[in-house]
Structure 1
Amino acid sequence: MTSPLHKASSIELQTRRQQQRVELHKPISVININTHKKMGALVNITTEGFMLMSDTLIESNRIYSVSLLLPDAMNGHKQVDLGSDCLWSRDEVEGERYWAGFQIIDASRSALDYIEALITDFSQINGQ
């Protein structure tokens, strides 16, 4: 059975989203911790979730342990590890790129601090 979040329209997801999405102007790769393979690159992020662009389809309604590879070391750290739930995934018309939306479900206080620093240092807020 498909979860209600999987069927939710983008308008419903935007209504549920508590924080404004923030695009980053530096590339940040996302790695699957379990497979050590690159999943894709961040499109935007908040401390609650993120959107990913990928070359391969990412299975939705699944939990992923991921590492965000930081563009510049922050306090000696080069990555941020998170637990995330893929709420949705879809492809472009041509099927060459895929998009996936994730909710952050497990993050240490320091991981959230690093995300906030990323947003402050490398952000381009949507609509501005």
Structure 2
Amino acid sequence: MQNNKRRLVRHELNASIDVWDAQSDEHLGRLANIHAQGLMLLSDAPLVEERLYSLRLTLPQSLVGAGELTLAVDCLWVKSSEDESRHWAGCHIIDISDQGLAVVELLISRLR
């Protein structure tokens, strides 16, 4: 079993938040959990480890005035489900605006 070396608790959200590649507009999957420094995605196709992604998260309109959150991440690891139909990806947030951090905190406080 892999040691859990996280310093911050990731928060599972009780809302479906789609995640898109901001460069290609490809749907990557759904947000599984998040904290101020990282997130985990669940997707149909695996992400690439050690690759940088610019992500666009589709936010619930009732949550914030903006409908999207854009941030950059480094994909640290990818793990397939037992039947390999779904893929988990753990990502470290490497670039996010101050407003984006405020949106992440709002997501955590209102949707968990």
Which band: TM-score by shorter chain?
A: over 0.9
Under a length normalisation based on structure 1, what TM-score does the superposition of the two structures give? Answer: 0.83
Cα drift, residue 76 of structure 1: 2.0
SS across alignment from 1:77: coil
Cα drift, residue 19 of structure 1: 0.9
Structure 1 residue ranges without an equivalent (≥5) = 1-8, 124-128
SS across alignment from 2:79: strand
Task: Confirm whether residue 94 of structure 1 aligns to residue 83 of structure 2.
Answer: yes
Spell out, residue by residue over 1:30-81, the C-alpha distance to the aligned partner (whole angstroms, 9 max, x if none).
1000110110001110011001000001111000000111022544200110
* Residues matched between the structures, number: 112
Q: Which residue of 2 aligns with 1:114?
A: 103
Structure 2 residue ranges without an equivalent (≥5) = none
What percentage of residue pairs aligned between the two structures are identical? Answer: 35
Under a length normalisation based on structure 2, what TM-score does the superposition of the two structures give? Answer: 0.95
Task: Confirm whether residue 49 of structure 1 aligns to residue 38 of structure 2.
Answer: yes
Across the aligned residues of Structure 1 and Structure 2, the Cα RMSD in angstroms comes to 1.2
Higher helix share: 1
Mark the structure with the bigger radius of gyration: 1
